Amino acid sequence: MVAGFQKALEGQKVGSQVVVVMPPSDGYGASEGHELQKESLVFVVDILATTPVQQ
C-alpha cells in the first residue's frame, strides 16, 4: 500500500466518501522504475468498515 493512504484516511469515519489526491512523493515516488513513479494519484474511497490496528 502506498504511504499516502494512511495520511488521507486516518481519522475518517465509517460512511464517509473521501477524495484522495496524492503527489508522487506520497504515492510511488520512492519506487525507482515504477511506471507511476512521477504521477500524482487520485482515488475516491468509500469507507464501509474499519478494523482496529493490532500493535
**What cell does 23 get?**
503527489
- The strand pairing partners of 46, in sequence order, are 17
Q: What is the pLDDT of residue 12?
A: 93
Q: What is the full per-residue pLDDT of the chain (55 aa) written as tens digits?
A: 677 888 888 899 999 999 999 888 887 776 677 788 888 889 999 999 988 878 7
**What cell does 18 get?**
473521501
Q: What is the pLDDT of residue 49?
A: 94
Which whole-number Å values give the CA distances from 17 to 12, 32, 34, 43, 54, in the listed order? 9, 31, 28, 10, 25
Which whole-number Å values give the CA distances from 8 to 4, 27, 50, in the listed order? 6, 12, 14
Smallest CA-to-CA distance from 9 within 40, 38, 50 is with 50
Q: What is the pLDDT of residue 1?
A: 65
- pTM here is 0.70
